[in-house]
Amino acid sequence: MALFDRNSPGSDEEIVVSSDAASRALSVTVVENEFVARVYEKLANVYDLAFGPSLNAGRLQAIRRMSIRPGDAILEVGVGTGINAPLYPRECPVTGVDLSEPMLEKARERLARKDIYNVRLMQMDAAHLKFPDESFDIVYAPYLISVVPDPIRVASEMRRVCRRGGRIVILNHFRSPNPLLSRVECLISPLTLHVGFKADLDLPAFLAQADLQPESIEKVNFPRMWSLVTCIKG
């Protein structure tokens, strides 16, 4: 069945969920938190140069899709070097969490350099968010879901801390629906993990298992191999 209609407003991607999507493996690549922490410790000093301009179009579109209102409380899961911090309205309280202390140190330096005072930073495991239920109006995970050990657990935590009617926004690379490209992505996924993401994460399986109903799914960046998924918590 079609989980998402290509003709719906804001969508340029059709996702078809097969009968096994709710039970099949999300990825062939297994990862642990310790490995992720080591990868991002190495990337901290070069992240902005390597992934700043090249992925910025997706970040800007994500901000637009959030439909931020004055005073909205925003949680960014996987804040990294704080590269998104200048994009948020200054009247909105923003909390950014990340597992990597070296990345958070870069984020602190950015906030101080740009005189940003509406963003607080916390070291935290995305799979165990230390916030009460329904704490935020918008919960955003940029370029994170394909590197965490348990994407479904992270999505569940994002859903838990998002208020009813709030937005859950996920910006990420997912495996191509093209069979040939999909096979290549599965083969290279253990290598791409060393630069911060799994290449073979299955989007239909992720949506089905995370119980997420997207309002829109868009291809972003160039090449258009990254997906921006926007959901409303019911």
Distance CA 97, CA 61 (A): 21
Q: What is the DSSP string of the chain?
A: -EEE-TTSTT----EE--TTTTTS-S-S----HHHHHHHHHHHTTTHHHHHTGGGHHHHHHHHHHHT--TT--EEEES-TT-TTGGGS-TTS-EEEEES-HHHHHHHHHHHHHTT--SEEEEE--TTS--S-TT-EEEEEEES-TTTSS-HHHHHHHHHHHEEEEEEEEEEEE---SSHHHHHHHHHHHHHHGGGT--S---HHHHHHHHT--EEEEEEESSSS-EEEEEEE--
pLDDT the model gives residue 19: 60
Residue whose C-alpha is closest to residue 14's, from 145, 209, 211, 177: 177
Distance CA 179, CA 210 (A): 24
| Model confidence band, residue 148 (pLDDT cutoffs 50, 70, 90) | very high
Q: Quick: pLDDT tens for 76-120.
A: 999 999 999 999 999 999 999 999 999 999 999 999 999 999 999
- State pTM to two decimals: 0.89
The encoded tokens of residue 146 equal: 């394909």
Residue whose C-alpha is closest to residue 162's, from 192, 126, 129, 135: 135
- Domain of 77 in residue numbering reads as 2-232
| Model confidence band, residue 196 (pLDDT cutoffs 50, 70, 90) | confident
| pLDDT over 70 percentage in the chain | 92
- Average per-residue pLDDT in the chain? 90
Distance CA 174, CA 217 (A): 12
Q: How many domains does the chain have?
A: 1
| Model confidence band, residue 3 (pLDDT cutoffs 50, 70, 90) | very low
Instruction: Work out the angle at residue 146's Cα, subtended by the Cα atoms of residues 4 and 222, and round it to the nearest 5 degrees.
Output: 70
| Model confidence band, residue 6 (pLDDT cutoffs 50, 70, 90) | very low
Residue whose C-alpha is closest to residue 30's, from 156, 170, 200: 200
Q: Looking at residues 64-77, what average pLDDT do you find?
A: 97
CATH of residue 93's domain is 3.40.50.150
* Three-state helix/strand/coil letters over 126-187: CCCCCCCCCCEEEEEEECCCCCCCCHHHHHHHHHHHEEEEEEEEEEEECCCCCHHHHHHHHH
